[in-house]
Amino acid sequence: MSQQQSSKTAEAGAREGDRRRTILRAAIDVFARKGYHGCRIADVAKEAGVAYGLVYHYFKNKDELLETVFDACWSGFFTRVQAISEGEGTLAQKLQRITDVVFEAFRVDPRAVKVLVVEVARSPVGRVNRQTAFSDTLKLCSDMLVRAQAAGELREDVDPRLSAMLLFGTIEMGFTSLVMGVVDTKDSDKLEQAKQQIASSFLQGVLTQEAVSEVSWKKEREKSATRPKVAKRS
Amino acid sequence: MSQQQSSKTAEAGAREGDRRRTILRAAIDVFARKGYHGCRIADVAKEAGVAYGLVYHYFKNKDELLETVFDACWSGFFTRVQAISEGEGTLAQKLQRITDVVFEAFRVDPRAVKVLVVEVARSPVGRVNRQTAFSDTLKLCSDMLVRAQAAGELREDVDPRLSAMLLFGTIEMGFTSLVMGVVDTKDSDKLEQAKQQIASSFLQGVLTQEAVSEVSWKKEREKSATRPKVAKRS
Amino acid sequence: MSQQQSSKTAEAGAREGDRRRTILRAAIDVFARKGYHGCRIADVAKEAGVAYGLVYHYFKNKDELLETVFDACWSGFFTRVQAISEGEGTLAQKLQRITDVVFEAFRVDPRAVKVLVVEVARSPVGRVNRQTAFSDTLKLCSDMLVRAQAAGELREDVDPRLSAMLLFGTIEMGFTSLVMGVVDTKDSDKLEQAKQQIASSFLQGVLTQEAVSEVSWKKEREKSATRPKVAKRS
Amino acid sequence: MSQQQSSKTAEAGAREGDRRRTILRAAIDVFARKGYHGCRIADVAKEAGVAYGLVYHYFKNKDELLETVFDACWSGFFTRVQAISEGEGTLAQKLQRITDVVFEAFRVDPRAVKVLVVEVARSPVGRVNRQTAFSDTLKLCSDMLVRAQAAGELREDVDPRLSAMLLFGTIEMGFTSLVMGVVDTKDSDKLEQAKQQIASSFLQGVLTQEAVSEVSWKKEREKSATRPKVAKRS
DNA sequence: CATGAATGAGAGTTCATTCAT
DNA sequence: CATGAATGAACTCTCATTCAT
């Protein structure tokens, strides 16, 4: 079920000298399939169609390999998000673009995205790089939200850092919905709708206008001191 | 001959025969501290102050132990959420209550919550029980949202299932913010604010009223066919 | 050729609970037979008739096992030599006793002695304990020689530290002669003679009285300044 | 793509085609520094500044490399010792000369000497060549001692073969003293003294004349039968 | 000759699981 | 029930050796 191209027939996808990339690719796949702890070097080698030891020719050890996997998956995402967050446009537009990037990434390389989703955001006792990368991206989004707040786009009563986290949570769970099959990824219409909903859920919430008013009105009486700005909006 | 000093947390709850609970408790703590894969049976036994092999008297194997830990942590949560979702009140109130439950759980037993959030909910290749429990809860929330939609509380353009997922994502990331220290858990004011923000973020989104109008206005011209209901409501 | 008492028939020599000693014994044997680098944990386990993992139950790792092997072999020797060197008697008597101890040790446990000879004295980049143990014993002998010098037993022109080293060299090579079969270890007369020769070689040298005179006489004329004390003796 | 900085000791002696010698030299150095088992082919190649695989052009395998290193180091020594032992002079003179050779060798190439002393002479499970070389040299010395005995220079009660071994032990431990720093190799006076002591220790022993008399006298009464010749000579 | 990528057999170590007491 | 010694499969990492270029 696994080794289609074994030993001597492996030249198909690894001709020149980019075995390194072959191995990395294989690592991403195995990683996505089995997770960090379930991913054994032997599996990666087999998946890549190379000898066991060769993995160690290109990567110092398992950790470095998986670190590299992570970097490879994350860096592209980070760069794009950075460009968007620091570029022109309203917060809503940026959010839309970020969601686009995410969905495009999923379309192009669902495994890589799965690695990010499953392993990175919520890694048990994350490795250094991952933590850093996560923090960096958090900072990025946090800054974006701070600017939006200054521009009057983001509600005043919202903590940008926490909000950035919640943004991650929303997007990540959006992914997970794709990965887990909650959303039908074959139907591009459904996919598009899901994309819209993820962005708008974070931006505008899920309530109807009427329900929002109701909330605000009750809030005003119950805890008027806590969230004055929101109350204003009713 | 070697480890005599294993009775640290032992005397507390290991009186008559509820060693089982002692072990379970220890397992939760160790899982929370080291994660599933980083946790050895030996660690659990030591933490519980019992003999190595005793763990296997009460639990068939490591997986069953994890399963039980999960059930123990999850069942209480599920019951409460069920009561709330099927009880009286507006969607917003229910959401508020669910968030309350979550935060209360965190206050009472942060480790158990951490296990649920970090280890169980997003475990690679989830075990049967977990998947089921997760699906059950998803259904619960999904139904709640369907009812809310029927009552005109939930926007019509929202898919309840996906929305239930996003709710999970928001709440879960809210947790993670606590666990990771993004939110200061010592300051009960900050904690209260965070709680409010998590609920309101999901319910009403993060945009200001003005920004929402802007979005809707642009949306109308750009993609008028896609989300007519939302546009209408501005 | 190796596993006489395999798997289930191994109770013979390892009944109660002193498996640890069984393993240590096996380690000594394998160590003596194959040396430090040639000695694999699998071999030790097989030799001891226990499971692979049990070795790690009793010893943290290979190094600790071999360190223990070394200590076990050396400590007895060190204690005896210490008692002798700090006890009563002339230097010659002490030397004789030390040689006796050495030969007795060889008679009782030739493998343990071989371990000491092959691995300890001349270990490549010796482990800490070994170096220390060696240094300690060197100090012991060195001190003994210093006292002998003060008592007029040891020649004045001899450096005690270097002399202690040479003593080691002589005794060690005496061992090696036994181990390598230069001396017939079956013939107890030959063995006794060898013992005498080793001690007397170090104490009185190998030259005849006449040859010694000759040397001293030539020395006097050639290098009179260098070794005046010796010259005196002609 | 990784280790370009491998040309440290390279340019020196790797001109035309004597790469072989370069590699051999490098092997000696690495052996001396890390010992046989601690030395990887990669290390040797790096030290020599040549490609990994080239080592295998010149040497069949690691063992042959070691063998060659050994031969290269030993043959010179053997030839010189042979010339001395079969040449003119008293035993004492020959011994002195041999010690001179040894010390000179150490002065010229301490690493090579270290390899011989530490790695080769006492290797566990010696290779054929080494055993042979060692035996040859032993025979050489043994014969020399037999002739000396015939000439009345060597005591009658001494077994020449064992004595040759002890000579090795003494000289070898003399080396070791240099290598281990027991003797200060910077101070040429100390070095000279050490050389004298090594030779004289073997030839005349370490006891003073008085102590020797004492030994012989006691010996006579205690074990009169065992060593009559020695006793006679006092 | 030269190169260094590729191979794969070991060896050490861990740890879930079993079992005799 | 309780204990912890015993087992051995699984996995990572190393490195001598080969081989295509």
> What is chain C written as a DSSP string?
---SS-GGGGGGG--SSTHHHHHHHHHHHHHHHHHHHH--HHHHHHHHTS-HHHHHHHSSSHHHHHHHHHHHHHHHHHHHHHHHHTSSS-HHHHHHHHHHHHHHHHHH-HHHHHHIIIIITT-TT--HHHHHHHHHHHHHHHHHHHHHHHTT-B-TTS-HHHHHHHHHHHHHHHHHHHHHTSS-SS-HHHHHHHHHHHHHHHHH-SB-HHHHHHHHHHHHHHSTTT-HHHHHT-
As a three-state string, the secondary structure of D68-102 is HHHHHHHHHHHHHHHHHHHCCCCHHHHHHHHHHHH
Give the separation between CA C149 and CA D208, rounded to whole angstroms. 9
Q: Does residue C168 sit in the same domain as residue C207?
A: yes
**Domain identity same for B88 and B149:** yes
Are residue D53 and residue D71 in the same domain, yes or no?
A: no
Could you tell me if B45 and B83 lie in one domain? no
pLDDT tops 50 at residue B226: no
d(CA D173, CA B35): 55
C-alpha dist (Å) from residue D110 to B127, B138, D28, D29, D103: 65, 76, 10, 10, 9
Is B2 part of any domain? no
Neighbours of B44 (CB within 10 A): 25
**Nearest to A173, CA basis, from A203, A145, A204, A194:** A194
- Considering just the CA atoms, what is the radius of gyration of chain D in Å? 22
User: What is the structure's pLDDT at D5?
Assistant: 43
For D170, the token pair is 């003494």
* CA nearest neighbour of A177 among A200, A161, A193: A193
Cα–Cα dist D59/A103, whole Å? 58
Distance between D111 CA and the closest CA of chain C, angstroms: 13
Best of B165, B203, B233 to mutate (most A CBs within 10 Å, chain A): B165
Strand spans (E) along B23-152: none
D124 with D189, same domain?
yes
Please give the pLDDT value at position B212: 84
What is the predicted pLDDT for the residue at C142? 95
Alpha-carbon A207 to chain mean position: 25
Whether residue A85 is contained in a domain is answered as yes
- Closest partner residue to A172 (CB to CB) among B154, B169, B196 is B169
- State the chains in contact with B (3 or more Cβ–Cβ pairs under 8 Å): A
Residue pair D68/D24 in contact by the 8 Å Cβ criterion:
yes
Task: Give the global pTM.
Answer: 0.81
Helices D91-108 & D160-180, crossing angle to 10 degrees?
A: 30
Determine whether the interchain pair A211/B91 forms a contact, defined as Cβ–Cβ distance below 8 Å: yes
Residue pair B215/A204 in contact (Cβ under 8 Å)? The answer is yes
Is residue B174 included in any domain, yes or no? Answer: yes
Among B117, B192, B209, beta carbon nearest to A233: B209
Of A152, A163, A174, Cβ closest to residue B208: A152
Strand E contact with C127 (CB < 7 A) = no
What is the per-residue pLDDT across D47-85, written as a single tens digit (0 to 9) for each?
999 999 999 999 999 989 988 888 888 888 889 999 999
Residues forming a β-bridge with A154: B207
Instruction: Tell me the pLDDT band of C96, cut-offs 50, 70 and 90.
Output: very high
Closest approach of B122 to chain A, Cα-based (Å): 7
Across the strands, what pairs with B154? A207
Give the C-alpha separation, A81 to A98, whole Å: 6
Higher pLDDT, B45 or C234: B45
Q: Which helix (H) or strand (E) holds B35?
A: helix B19-38
D226 in a structural domain: no
Q: Quick check: is B208 in a domain?
A: yes
Whether residues D169 and C158 touch (CB distance < 8 A) is answered with no
pLDDT at C135 (0 to 100):
84
Tokens of B111: 């480790």
User: Measured between alpha carbons, how far is A139 from B114 in angstroms, rounded to an integer?
Assistant: 23
**Amino acid of residue A22:** T
Predicted local distance difference test score (pLDDT) of residue D12: 45
pLDDT at A217: 57
- Within this chain, do residues B48 and B81 fall inside the same structural domain, yes or no? no
Q: For all residues of chain B together, what is the average pLDDT?
A: 81
Point out which residues pair with C154 in neighbouring strands: D207
- Residue D222 is classified by DSSP as H
- Residue C116 within any structural domain of the chain: yes
Q: Which domain holds residue C182?
A: 62-216
pLDDT in tens, B100-145: 998 898 888 888 887 777 666 556 555 567 778 888 888 999 999 9
> Is the Cα dihedral D119, D125, D128, D134 positive or negative?
positive
Q: Which two tokens stand for residue D120?
A: 């080769």
pLDDT band at B2 (very low <50, low <70, confident <90, very high): very low
Please tell me which chains touch C, using 3 or more CB pairs under 8 Å as the contact test: D
* Contact residues, chain B, for A163 at CB < 8 Å: 197, 201, 206
Examine residue A165 and state whether it is found in any structural domain, yes or no: yes
pLDDT for residue C222: 53
Q: What is the CATH number of the domain that holds D80?
A: 1.10.357.10
Same domain, D115 and D204: yes
The domain that contains C49 carries what CATH number? 1.10.10.60
CA–CA dist C223, D196 (Å, integer): 11
Look at residue B213 in the predicted model and tell me its pLDDT. 81
Strand partners for A207:
B154
Residues B29 and B118 in one domain: no
Amino acid B46: pLDDT: 94
Q: Which of B37, B59, B81 is at the close of a domain? A: B59
DSSP-assigned states of every residue in D8-19:
SSHHHH-SSSTH
End-to-end CA distance of chain A: 61
Q: Please identify every stretch of chain D with a pLDDT value under 70, giving residue numbers as ranges.
A: 1-17, 118-129, 216-234
Buried b (16+ CB within 10 A) or exposed e, A118-129: bbbbbbbebbeb
Gap from A225 CA to F13 C1', Å: 62
Q: Are residues A44 and A86 in the same domain?
A: no
**pLDDT of A13 over the 50 cut:** no
The proportion of chain A whose per-residue pLDDT surpasses 70, expressed as a percent, equals 79
Min Cα–Cα distance to chain A from B12, Å:
29
Separation in Å, CA C24 to CA B78, B229, C18, C69, C121? 56, 81, 10, 6, 20
Task: List the single residue in B with minimal CA-CA distance to A189.
Answer: B226
Give the pLDDT of residue A125: 57
* Closest-approach residue (CA) in chain B for A150: B208
Q: Please, are residues C186 and C129 in contact by the beta-carbon 8 Å criterion?
A: no
pLDDT at residue B231, rounded to an integer: 39
Q: b/e map of B142-170 (b: 16 or more CB within 10 Å)?
A: bebbebbbeeebbbebbbbbbbbbbbbbb
Q: Verify that A177 and A206 share a domain, yes or no.
A: yes
Complete DSSP assignment for B134-169: HHHHHHHHHHHHHHHHHTT-B-TTS-HHHHHHHHHH
So what's the pLDDT on residue B168?
86
| Residues 49-78 of chain C sitting with CB below 7 angstroms of strand F | 50-54, 56-58
> Does C231 fall in a domain?
no
Domain count, chain A: 2
Residue whose C-alpha is closest to residue D200's, from C203, A213, A221: C203
Give the integer Cα–Cα distance in Å for B80 and B100: 11
Alpha-carbon distance B153 to B145, whole Å?
9
Contacts 24+ apart (CB under 8 A), A83-87: A85/A140, A85/A141, A85/A143, A85/A144, A86/A144
Query: Would you place residue C224 in the very low, low, confident or very high pLDDT band (cuts 50, 70, 90)?
Result: very low
Q: Is the CB of D51 under 7 A from strand F?
A: no
Q: What gap in Å lies between CA B225 and CA B221, rounded to an integer?
A: 9
Question: What is the predicted pLDDT for the residue at D83?
Answer: 96
Distance A51 CA to F11 C1' (A): 16
- pLDDT value for D7: 47
Residue % of chain C over a pLDDT of 90: 43
- Do residues C135 and C67 both lie within one domain? yes
Shared-domain flag, residues C50 and C96: no
**Which pLDDT value is given to residue B110?**
82
At which residue do the structure tokens 């054994």 appear?
A: A40
A5-9, A104-108, C74-78: least confident range: A5-9
